[in-house]
Amino acid sequence: MKRFLMLTTLLLALAACSGHTVHRIEVDFLSFVPEANRSGTLDLTTAEVQVPDDPAGQLVPVPGAEALLEGTVRVKAEVANTGTLPAQVDLEVRMGPEGDTNLYDGVDGDLEAKRVSLTLDPGTTGTLDLSLDLAPGNPAFDLVKAGSFRIGARLNLSGEKVDYTLTQGEVVLRLKLFNLIPNP
């Protein structure tokens, strides 16, 4: 019975599918962050902010992840140094397995997928542009390929005061379902 159902499901899933078809899944995870939480100020009292607030991050299920070809994680933030001293801002993307409850503690399999830094003089603005390519051999790729993963970002300030606005947060995955077909 299960085989019959699986076969039916497979036939339906493949109805618009072929060896040349790539399924691209785009998840705009920034859109799930409330508008009010996408911008703010980092200063001496609040030197760090996590997006989303929950340290467990955002869960991203990926059906058919075994067929993953490649992917990209992209996070962008506009930063303005509104203080009187030079400031350094770090943007870090962290990923973890589905069961991880804190992406930032370095236990239960979470990892730093990528980090970028920006140094700003007082009164200047800049863009933190983080682009992470997910490709075979990359630990983050293995997390995605597990079928469900968690993702979160952290902004960190070394300095006096900066204003920030997150402008992009997106995961793009490319899958080829025909890769799931075994050899005869």
Partner 1 sequence: MKKLAVLLTLSLLGAGLAQGVRSLGMGGVALPGPSFAGSNPAYAAFPDTWGREGLALPVGLLRFLPAFSDTSPFTYLTDPNAFRTSFDLLSFYDQASHLGSFLLNPARSPDEVVFRLSAEGLSLTDGRGNNLMPTFQVGAVPEKPTALIPSPFLPIGVELGPGTYLAFGPFVGTQGVRVLPSPELAQALAGGSLNPCKASDPSPCYLEAGGSFASGVSLALGFSTPLPEVPGLGRVYLGARGEGFYGLGYVEASGKARPTFDPDGNVNGASYEVRYFISYPEYLESSLGLGGSGLGYGVRADLGVAVDGGQYAFGLGVRNLLGFSQWSGVEVEVKDGHETRTPTTRRSGFSAPAFFLNGAYRLPLEVGELLLAADASFGATAPAFHLGLEYALGPVALRTGLGVEGGLRFGLGAGLNLEAVTLDLALTTHQAPLVGGTVYGLALAVGF
Strand, coil or helix: 96:
strand
Q: Write out the binding residues for partner 1, residues 48-107 only, by CB under 8 A.
A: none
Closer to partner 1 by Cβ: residue 137 or 184 = 184
12 binds partner 1 (CB under 8 A): yes
Nearest one of 177, 137, 139, 155 to 38, comparing CA atoms: 155
Do 52 and 33 contact (CB within 8 A), yes or no? yes
Query: From the list 45, 107, 137, 184, which residue makes contact with partner 1 (rule: CB under 8 A)?
Result: 184
Q: Which stretch binds partner 1 (CB under 8 A): 16-24, 75-83, 134-142, 149-157?
A: 16-24
Nearest one of 142, 118, 141, 143 to 130, comparing CA atoms: 118
Q: Which stretch binds partner 1 (CB under 8 A): 25-33, 84-92, 136-144, 151-159?
A: 25-33
**Would you state the structure tokens that stand for residue 51, as one six-digit string?**
């997006």
Cα distance between residue 117 and residue 123, in whole Å: 18
Closer to partner 1 by Cβ: residue 33 or 116 = 33
Closer to partner 1 by Cβ: residue 35 or 45 = 35
Q: With contacts defined by CB under 8 A, how many residues of the chain interact with partner 1? A: 29
Give the strand order in the sheet containing 125-134: 39-43, 161-175, 68-81, 125-134
Cβ-based burial of 151 (10 A; exposed 0-12, middle 13-18, buried ≥19): buried
Q: Write out the binding residues for partner 1, residues 31-50 only, by CB under 8 A.
A: 31-32
Contact positions toward partner 1, by CB under 8 A?
A: 1, 3-5, 7-8, 12, 14-28, 31-32, 178-179, 181, 183-184
